Amino acid sequence: MSVNINDKTVASLVQTAWNIRKSNFPDTIEFDVPDQTRTVSVTGNKCILNCAHCGGHYLKNMTPISDVNRISDYSSLLISGGCDEMGKVDIAAHKPLIDELKENSIKINAHVGLISEEQIRKVASFADCVSFDFLTDKETIQQVYGLGLKPEDYIDTYLNLKKHVRVVPHICIGLYGGKLQGEIDAIKKLKELGADSLVFIVFIPTPGTRYADKPAPSPEDVAKVLATARIEFPDIPIHLGCMRPKGKIRAQIDQLAVLCGVNKLVNPTRPAVEEAQKCGLEVKYGRECCVL
């Protein structure tokens, strides 16, 4: 192992995860630079929840749904937006416009939040994939999102999504102010419920949010979660998505992600590419959102 891990328990987990990856997948890894996927917001830069980790910050650079007809030269869209007071992103309300886009063979990844089964059916009619933030920790739901909901609400929505559309659960490592809280439990619950693929993102301390002064999770904490996921899910694709801290810590996280056996990594740092080559992995490249 070319990356030093001080925690012997984590180092053992990572080695086990790598061995499992070698046994179940070819010696290839995909690095995605998603310049063919445009991010679209159905609420502009507005979000009622004002979550502790985001505060609407990540909506500002997204294309408003009202401008979507001006989009050209993209093969896919990630359609998201701000949540209402119950954690729903009302993408279904824009079905007529999205149906028009589908006529031009544009692929759709929908980020929907906690929607009803009726809305799920509408989204399923146009979505190639649904990205769903999966949480099973009540305190995180209440403290980060400010929602008076229970883990069962997330579990029920996930199961309803699975009935109608391809759904890829997302787990944010360190969402609870940089601390691990519920990520391992979420992985184990997903193993019970079933998942065809899994995406991880990593908490970013973001200026202007309530968690601006919180630390990012340590690379070893990230490795602990990723390695556990690979061990629990030995034969499904596991991806490390685009949302993760910048700088030196990003490079460390990326290197460890390779060693934990991820199949895709979005916008990789150079050390991740070098690590993959050291591990004898053939590098392939993609240009869309990692779930597409």
Hey, how many other C-beta atoms are within 10 angstroms of the C-beta on 181? 17
Burial category of 48 from C-beta neighbours within 10 Å (exposed 0-12, middle 13-18, buried 19 and up): middle
Q: Say which residue the tokens 């999504």 belong to.
A: 161
Strands 76-80, 107-111: pairing kind:
parallel
3 state DSSP class of 283: strand
Can you give the pLDDT of all 292 residues of the chain as single tens digits?
A: 667 898 999 999 999 999 999 999 999 999 999 999 999 999 999 999 999 999 999 999 999 998 887 666 899 999 999 999 999 999 999 999 999 888 888 999 999 999 999 999 999 999 999 999 999 999 999 999 999 999 999 999 999 999 999 999 999 999 999 999 999 999 999 999 999 999 999 999 999 999 999 999 999 999 999 999 999 999 999 999 999 999 999 999 999 999 999 999 999 999 999 999 999 999 999 999 999 9
Q: Say which residue the tokens 């883990």 belong to.
A: 151
Q: Find out whether 202 and 223 touch, Cβ atoms under 8 Å.
A: no
Q: What is the pTM of this model?
A: 0.97
Amino acid (1-letter code) at residue 46: K
Look up residue 198 and give its DSSP letter. E
The residues with which 32 forms a beta bridge, in sequence order, are: 266, 286
Reported as type and span, the H/E element at residue 154 is helix 151-164
Return the CATH superfamily for domain 8-286.
Answer: Aldolase class I (3.20.20.70)
| Residue 278 confidence (pLDDT) | 96
Could you tell me the residue ranges of all domains in the chain?
8-286
Structure-token pair, residue 18 = 């790598």
Q: Find out whether 198 and 236 touch, Cβ atoms under 8 Å.
A: yes
| Residue 70 confidence (pLDDT) | 67
| Residue 1 confidence (pLDDT) | 61
Strands 282-286, 264-266: pairing kind:
unpaired
